[in-house]
Amino acid sequence: MKKSILLLGVTFIFLSSCDKQETDKDTQLLKSGVKSTSELSLLATTIVNVTPTTVFNTAFWTNIQTLLQSNPVDIVFADGTYNLTSTISLTNIGHTTNNLELKCNTIGSAIITGSIAKLMGLSSCKNILIHRLKFTGPVTDYALTIQRSQNVTVAYCRFEDMPNVYYGALGAHYDTSDNIIVRQNVFSKVGLDSHCHMIYGAYGVKRLKVINNTFTDCAGSFVRFRGNNSTHGVVYGNTFISTGTYLTGVNPIFVEVPVFNDVNPGDERFGTSFMITSNSFSYSTSGTQATRYALVFHHSGYNPPDRTHLISAADAATLGSGSSTVAAKRAIMSSKLGLDGTKILFGGNTNTNVATNVSYRCQGGYGAVAPWTGIVSIGTAVTATGLATSYAEALAFYDDLY
């Protein structure tokens, strides 16, 4: 039985649970990234149909939040191009048990674009799924940001052809952001220069899980987990491709865990606890061959308190030596860098033209004096056991810690 009403120019359709049948088997897993099956609401779902002429203003989102108090809500984007003049902004949107979905009917049929700084932003939100949308065009800062939010899944979306983006296609930021799942999306040809990343996790985001995506050609490192204890990240089952033909022929780092300390003492520390497995890392023999690294822990600037990121040449030699013991390498990583080799899980990946698997790179900068600068492999000091072996295991990885 269906019932529809008209409110503020947007059509709302209430569907009973038995009427709402998903035919795509993957769609049955969509909410698993938002909430466990046992917690899913059994209430009817409210369908909100929007079009390229819909105004996504405060009144629109106030109505959505009101509807969520009673039912799960699906915002269904009609096919077409949404040429935005302002950001689609969700602030304090979401419900503990009633999930919100923003989606279109087929992958990429709703195209979100615009000559603006950011296309879509979530702040202090929870239990939201973004599904099948396409982000593209002349956006300049980010296509999508997720900040101070929990249990947000981005699935089957496309982030393509954004040559003017400075920071990232997708950003997940701040220490109250937790369980951000980015899965089964396509990222291609993103970024203005090395500042840009396809996924930029930063400032303490926890459980950012990057699963079964395809990444092709980025201006900067493809996936970044930046400092201030951005931790418990998962990178599983993805395909990373750098053709060496983007921009001036860049082949950037695929996965990077950096800190940038422009004050003395430094105020950023490395995140730790990462699981990276079952990925395909492929670099072309075209373009620059100087940065063909699968995973890099990178430091720029000053030492933070109680750590010595600016390691000595002797420490660098120990880390990179084939004759040094694993214990000796891990001792330096722990005492100087704050990295626990037993909690950096890396293995089971497929490499094409990759120079090193796991490395530490140190630079000076910001006025800091570095006793040693360079990059050194630390692959023998990390752990190749305890890895996820399936999509379901990757999706649930680290969940028992929270």
pLDDT digits (tens, 9 = 90+) for 294-323: 999 999 999 999 999 999 999 999 999 999
For the cut 80, the answer to whether the pLDDT of residue 353 exceeds it is yes
A 10 A CB-CB count for 256 gives 21
Q: Above pLDDT 70, what percent of the chain?
A: 90
For the beta carbon of residue 218, count every other beta carbon within 10 angstroms: 30
- The Cα–Cα gap between 215 and 238 comes to 8
> What is the spatial order of strands in the sheet that 134-136 belongs to?
80-83, 110-113, 134-136, 158-162, 186-190, 214-218, 239-242, 280-283, 350-352
Same domain as 220, residue 102? no
Asked if 175 and 289 sit in the same domain, the reply is: yes
Mean pLDDT within 95-119: 98
Is residue 30 within 8 Å of residue 155, measured between CB atoms?
A: yes
Q: Please check whether residue 187 lies inside any domain of the structure.
A: yes
179 and 81 both lie in a single domain = no
Residues 6+ apart with CB under 8 A from 331: none
| Shared-domain flag, residues 230 and 373 | yes
Instruction: Tell me, yes or no, whether 132 and 276 share the same domain.
Output: no
212 and 327 together in one domain: yes
Q: Please spell the DSSP secondary structure of 150-195, one letter per residue.
A: EEEEEES-EEEEETT-SSEEEEEESTT-EEEEEES-EEEEE-SSTT
45 to 19, 74, 122, 202: CA distances (angstroms): 10, 7, 22, 34
> Within a domain: residue 147?
no
**153 within some domain:** no
Q: Per-residue confidence at 121, pLDDT binned at 50, 70, 90?
A: very high
* 273 and 189 within one domain: yes
Which residue, 221, 219, 224, 222, is CA-closest to 249? 219
The reply to whether 25 and 133 lie within a common domain is: yes
pLDDT band at 35 (very low <50, low <70, confident <90, very high): very low
The single-letter DSSP state of residue 319 is H
**Terminal Cα-to-Cα distance of the chain (whole angstroms):** 40
Give the predicted TM-score (pTM) of the model.
0.92
Q: State the residue for tokens 């949308």.
A: 133
3-class secondary structure, 213: coil
Q: Are residues 8 and 118 in the same domain?
A: yes
What radius of gyration, in Å, describes the C-alpha atoms of the chain? Answer: 22
| Full residue range of the structural domain in which residue 289 is found | 165-402
Question: In terms of domains, do 232 and 122 share one?
Answer: no
Q: Cβ(240)–Cβ(282) under 8 Å?
A: yes
Report pLDDT digits (tens) over 246-291: 999 999 999 999 999 999 999 999 988 999 999 999 999 999 999 9
- One domain, residues 372 and 287: yes
Residue 159 lies in a domain: no
Question: How large is the average pLDDT for residues 326-350?
Answer: 97
Q: Is the model more confident about 15 or about 213?
A: 213
- Distances 108 to 81, 165, 185 between C-alpha atoms, Å: 10, 19, 11
Do 171 and 297 belong together in one domain? yes
Per the domain annotation, does 143 fall within a domain?
no
Q: Is residue 24 part of a domain?
A: yes
The span from the CA of 151 to the CA of 126, in Å, is: 6
- pLDDT tens, residue by residue, 153-166: 999 999 999 999 99
The residue out of 121, 137, 153 marking a domain boundary is: 137
Q: What is the count of structural domains for the chain?
A: 2
